[in-house]
Structure 1
Amino acid sequence: MKKAYLYLENGQVLEGQHFGADGTVMGELVFTTGMTGCVESLTDPSYYGQLVIYTFPQFGNYGICHEDMESPQCQMKGVVVREFCEDPSNFRCDESVDAFLKAQNVVGIAGVDTRMLTQMLRDNGVMNAVITTREDKPDMDALKAYRVTQSVENTSDTKVQVLKPEGDAPYSVALLDYGAKQSIANSLLARGCQVTVYPYNTPAETILSGGHHGIMLSNGPGDPADNPFCIQQIQALFGKLPMFGICLGHQMMALAAGATTKKLKFGHRGANQPVKDLETGEVSITSQNHGYAVDADSLAGTKGVLRFVNVNDGTCEGVDYPEYRAFSLQFHPEAHGGPLDCLTAFDRFTDMMKEGL
């Protein structure tokens, strides 16, 4: 089997087996702890610009099912695993992970110590890395300087789409696409919402003139502070219609309200993150994928009220904005893959829209 190499920003080099596409890719090295959800994570736009370590040892056992894709293409730049399955076994399988990554031009490396790499990132924080099938050493200065940029621009759809549910559609929702997972639209459609998907750079006045009953702010990749235009539009939308934000949408909603965000040491990525509801005291297991978080202390003096916290590290996981008829969640209530403990958040959103009818 052909060799591949993983070069880390700290100078360490690991040799492994190549799978997927040939070539060299540079990105931010992160890890995810999910045991399932292979195709969902590969196609999640929140992973744009990143090389992803899968901590579960086996990868691709049940192959790729195109129906489960969260976007039209693989969003990761590279994949790092302990071992990958060349012959998947699943009645829904359309192709192997190796064939999928080759077609998507994504480089993979297997046979490396993913436990050691994960512990390194937990101790020292995420770092940049290169996966390559070539023998020559990459430009280490360029590697250290790498930063994920223009991520929302490169993952948002460029045209307006209208998605209609089966049967009656009592609600019309404007979904602002910052790199949206398909499961968000599907969750709204399942609740009788007609969903109009707008590109990230749509002005607030266009949204407000669309005759909608509510506004959905999607997930997406990168630093939320890199999107000043989007934040300005959210400011203009506050209080006009019920609003629900997830992940990046949650972070930018907080910035629009006057709070601040911060980069986490190694982020939350996986399907086993415990979150506590401060209002009810209940703890749910959630699916997450983010490297930034809202600074809970910065909510003081804003219209935002801290509602959810991460049980592991106490970071902000959700904010309510009662005066604006808005709320946001850092985690993914639609999951896929992962637990659906908090899927009722979409019911909360539709209830808010119903009150305004």
Structure 2
Amino acid sequence: MVKKTELKIVFDTNVLFTGSASDLINTEVAKTVKENSNHSDLLIKWYLPEVVIHERVFQMRKRGYELLFSIQKLEKLLGHNLNINEKIIDSRINETIENQIKENGFEKLNLSIDKIDWQTIINNSLYRKAPFEDSEKEKGFRDALIIESVCQLIADSPSTTKICRIVIVSNDGLLITALKERNAGKNNVRILRNVEELKGLINTLVSKVDEEFINKIIDSLNNYFFSEENQEGIFYKSEIQKKILDKYQKELTLIPESAQARHNNQWFISPPNFVKKISQRVYLSSRISVEATGFKYVDKNAQTKQSSLLSMFSQPSKPQGSQNIFQNLFPNLGKEKVEVKKGETAFDVIWSVIVNTNYKLSNPKIESINYIGTNWENA
């Protein structure tokens, strides 16, 4: 029996973040794990470093504590004590996390304290070397511990690519820089910036497609879908943006909790990732992300501003009626627009193209456009 190649995948906190008080990981990560846990020739192990788990505990507790005020208001309304406090929240979050780790098939990546070179970490902190920030806040200690966890996993794993590959999924620039420095020359170690890139790698490995083949065409594929220099790519020719706006208008106008309005900002297109290959037709996925902002309106000098404008519209005989009409027409007059949420709405465009023996591309086709989800965080 041929032994399966191992693929060990380690997630950083920023990839898991959901903005939810109830979920350890976001929907996309959970779906990716579920869909890729039983390949016949690839054994995938999913890891969460201890530090990452504790960071998510902190984030979920913070969100849970924010909800306590609403519970206290409800208790006052009902005249009944619901007996929910910080201790109860802590206990339930710990229980939830343990259950979700088990349900999703994650393994905890434990950190051996005695194997850490503390002097190097201290020096890196003092001289602001990655992953420590060159700023007054001196951020980076938690990332340094994540790096140590990953490096211990690498040291304890086979170094041959055909036997074992190790992937770290993180979009933290300083953490990536430090990991690359620590693991330079190790061909079985890869650092990917998001789940979309991870899915592309897994699809490549299980499809028996030579990575060299993908590497040869990836730049051409990127420009074939979208190019900033011209409007010849599939994105423009197939009117992808218009299709998304028409099909997913509801998803693009959803207002986050605690906000009263939403504004969509820039659109970003990520490089394509491999999905599968059938004969000469190669299938790819291009992630499109729409940055968004959630606002609320806060009273600020409302009476002064409103009075000055009302003086132009009101009549002596019916001042109150004029005021009510004006307030109905301009409900946010005199209020300050405050940013409370930052978010990102993601879509995957699945497309395909023929690749001939000379790596020439032809006959593009849009297969589907799928809504992935929206993640919000406090501004």
Select the structure that is richer in strand: 1
Question: Which one has the bigger helix percentage?
Answer: 2
Higher relative contact order at CA 8 Å, sep ≥6: structure 1 or structure 2? 1
TM-score by length of 2: 0.25
Larger Rg: 2
State TM-score, norm by structure 1.
0.26
